[in-house]
Amino acid sequence: MKKKRSIKNREYAVIAYGFLGVFIAMSLYFAYYLTFEAEDFINNPYNARVSLFSENVIRGDVLSADGQVLATTEIAADGSETRSYPYGRVFAHAVGYNTNGKAGVELDGNFNMLRSHSFFLTRLINDFTDKKDQGDSVVTTLDASMQQAAYNAFGNYRGAVVAIEPSTGKILALMSKPDFDPAGIASQWDSLQSDSESSVLLNRATQGLYPPGSTFKILTALEYLHEGGSTEDAFNCEGTYTENGYTIHCYGNTAHGEEDLKGAFARSCNVAFSQTGLSLDLNKYRTLAENMLFNKDIPTKISNVKPSTFSLKKGDDPVLVMQTAIGQGDTLMTPLHGAIIAAAIDNEGVVMEPYIMDKIVNDNGDLVRPYFGETYGSIVSKEDAKKLKKLMRSVVTDGTGSALLSDNYKAYGKTGSAEYTSDKNATHSWFVGFANKDDKEVAVAVIMEGAGSGSSHAVPVARAMFDEYFKE
């Protein structure tokens, strides 16, 4: 009897197992979504649900890596809650704001801070007594003393500072100016919104697109070396160079005279680098730029990060080629991207994805969830990183970054003076670089709008940060 039944049932079993397989795959996807993907969706500003949590939970704190309170919720006697920011404007863009929309860590950690992992008995008692639970806190990677150092050294310029730990991707400082009082966002909202000229709410560190100026010579030099060039190749600079009816000037029309590529890099000679640019295979140049994250989404979980752009291609006007080689032309770069490039060169070419939320802890300080630096991959080879390191060291020992010479640490970098209007004397002051001492290392990018040359303004800010980081 059994036998008879099974004779003709093979096809039936195939269909049944087919369905079973498809449904199991679907269930696994469901579990995968809930476990891994959901978080990306939950924090979307269109998700109105998270705000419901605040009915049962007091929004948690934002803390610096060393435990300083950067944002907290204060509860008045009548039960009303206000968000306060003990450091005022210092962390304005990094920590962000929580009214009239959200930004910064207040945005990225929104869901986490509205969840409570307090001791369960406490929560139970709160339920019985109709009290709110204390939300979890976000411990950031931010170093309060580094942020303060950047803030103090920067002055009243507009611009941004980013500091990253190259081996992990931890963001130690993230500053953008002009800034705002995060506690007063609601009352100043209209004026902040209407002020389109200074874009106070724009986080220039992650969204400011600037011509990279001479800092881009890092890429030009590397492509030149890739195409058979050598750091000993000789150039002759008379302060200006005219080709195809266009004249390139060195900063302040300084004639750098006889020099090799290394010297041209150290002293940021535009004449030598525009000539270098003209010799390059533009498609390979572009590929190199894209490998180094131009025209790509910056690998990070931080929201609202703009991609940098590089548009030069084969057949473009030689004038544009000359400009692009010295970081002018159409190329645009964010300060965060500049810091990532510097960090990668320090880290043997490997990019660690920058992150700002280090862990979530409950109100007792117990770990709820850690975050780890994720490896994006190599953007330059180990050998290339070594070569670039030598060039960037020469900037400090023999060139525009000499103010960074220190007995306490070893600094590397590239300055830049980026023209942003037709007025050649008005330039953004750039510095990207890194410093290390034993196992300790830090990469920074500094941009100061319209401040002048890189060495005059951005380098002193970098110096202040390096000094702070390596202070005994």
Partner 1 sequence: MLHLLTTISKFTMIFIMALYTYFSFKALMPRISQESSAGLYKKQTALVMLLFINGYIVILMHTLYQNGEGEASSVTAAQMMLVLFLAELVLLRILFIIYKYFYGAASDALVNNMCMLLAVGFLILSRLSWDKALRQFFLAVAAVILTALIPLFVRKLKFLNKLAYLYAIIGIGGLGLVAVAGSTDYGAKLNISLGPVTIQPSEFIKILFVFFLASMLYNIKDIRQIYVATAIAGIHVLLLVAARDLGGAAIFGVTFLAMLYVATGRLSLFLGGMGLGMAGAFVASKIFTHVQNRIVAWKDPLSVIDSQGYQVAQSLFAIGTGGWMGSGLYEGMPEKIPVVTKDFIFAAISEEMGGIFALCLIFVCINCFLMFFNISMQIRDKFYKLIALGLGTVYGIQTFLTLGGVIRFIPSTGVTLPLVSYGGSSLISTMILFAVIQGLYCLREDQKREEEEIY
Contact residues toward Zn ion (CB under 5 A) are: 237, 250, 256, 269, 271
Distance CA 95, CA 154 (A): 18
Which one of 66, 74, 127, 317 is in contact with partner 1 (CB under 8 A)? 127
Which one of 3, 49, 297, 472 is in contact with partner 1 (CB under 8 A)? 49
Q: Does 2 bind partner 1 (CB under 8 A)?
A: no
Q: Does 234 bind partner 1 (CB under 8 A)?
A: no
Among residues 83 and 267, whose Cβ is nearest to Zn ion? 267
Which one of 3, 12, 120, 197 is in contact with partner 1 (CB under 8 A)? 12
Answer with the entry of partner 1, Zn ion, none that 237 interacts with (C-beta below 5 to 8 A by kind): Zn ion
How open is the CA angle 430-175-163, to the nearest 5 degrees?
Answer: 65
Q: Does 44 bind partner 1 (CB under 8 A)?
A: yes
Among residues 47 and 84, whose Cβ is nearest to partner 1? 47
Q: Does 13 bind partner 1 (CB under 8 A)?
A: yes
The pair of three-digit structure tokens given for residue 301, joined into one six-digit string: 């979980």
Q: Does 50 bind partner 1 (CB under 8 A)?
A: yes
Q: How far is CA 87 from CA 173, 302, 324, in A?
A: 14, 21, 40
Q: Does 255 bind partner 1 (CB under 8 A)?
A: no
What one-character-per-residue DSSP string does 149-195 give? HHHHHHTT--EEEEEE-TTT-BEEEEEEES---GGGHHHHHHHHHH-
Q: How far is the CB of 9 from partner 1 (least distance, A)?
A: 5
The pair of three-digit structure tokens given for residue 135, joined into one six-digit string: 């939300």
Answer with the entry of Zn ion, partner 1, none that 26 interacts with (C-beta below 5 to 8 A by kind): partner 1
The pair of three-digit structure tokens given for residue 327, joined into one six-digit string: 């970081």
Answer with the entry of partner 1, Zn ion, none that 75 interacts with (C-beta below 5 to 8 A by kind): none
Segment contacting partner 1 by CB under 8 A, of 27-35, 197-205, 394-402, 433-441:
27-35
Phi (first) and psi of residue 302, to 5 degrees: -65, 135
Picking from 379, 383, 412, 404, the residue whose alpha carbon sits closest to that of residue 455 is: 404
Q: Does 36 bind partner 1 (CB under 8 A)?
A: no
Which one of 3, 76, 128, 258 is in contact with partner 1 (CB under 8 A)? 128
Which one of 3, 48, 77, 422 is in contact with partner 1 (CB under 8 A)? 48
Among residues 11 and 439, whose Cβ is nearest to partner 1? 11
Element (H, E) at 351: strand 350-352
Distance CA 316, CA 199 (A): 33
Picking from 212, 443, 418, the residue whose alpha carbon sits closest to that of residue 341 is: 443
Phi (first) and psi of residue 168, to 5 degrees: -125, -25
Residues 6+ apart with CB under 8 A from 311: 330, 331
Q: Does 5 bind partner 1 (CB under 8 A)?
A: yes
Which one of 22, 186, 234, 367 is in contact with partner 1 (CB under 8 A)? 22
Distance CA 180, CA 89 (A): 6
Among residues 37 and 383, whose Cβ is nearest to partner 1? 37
Q: Does 3 bind partner 1 (CB under 8 A)?
A: no
Q: How far is the CB of 124 from partner 1 (least distance, A)?
A: 8
Residues 6+ apart with CB under 8 A from 123: 116, 133
Among residues 134 and 415, whose Cβ is nearest to partner 1? 134
Q: How many residues does the chain have?
A: 472
Strands 62-63 and 137-140: parallel
Picking from 409, 414, 424, the residue whose alpha carbon sits closest to that of residue 389 is: 414
Q: How far is the CB of 109 from partner 1 (least distance, A)?
A: 15
Count of C-beta atoms within a 10 Å radius of residue 11: 8
3-state secondary structure of 362: coil
Assess contact for 132 and 57: CB atoms under 8 A. yes
Running DSSP on this structure, what letter comes out for residue 136? P
Which one of 3, 27, 179, 401 is in contact with partner 1 (CB under 8 A)? 27
Q: For the segment 392-451, give every residue that binds partner 1 (CB under 8 A).
A: none
Q: How far is the CB of 395 from Zn ion (least distance, A)?
A: 14
Which one of 11, 258, 407, 439 is in contact with partner 1 (CB under 8 A)? 11
Q: Does 290 bind partner 1 (CB under 8 A)?
A: no
The pair of three-digit structure tokens given for residue 402, joined into one six-digit string: 């000499």
Answer with the entry of partner 1, Zn ion, none that 250 interacts with (C-beta below 5 to 8 A by kind): Zn ion
Segment contacting partner 1 by CB under 8 A, of 5-13, 61-69, 219-227, 311-319:
5-13
Picking from 211, 452, 445, 168, the residue whose alpha carbon sits closest to that of residue 324 is: 211
Strands 257-260 and 234-237: antiparallel
Q: Does 42 bind partner 1 (CB under 8 A)?
A: yes
Q: Does 364 bind partner 1 (CB under 8 A)?
A: no
For partner 1, the binding residues (CB under 8 A) are 1, 4-5, 8-16, 19-20, 22-23, 25-27, 29-31, 33-34, 37-39, 41-42, 44, 46-50, 52, 56, 111, 124, 127-128, 130
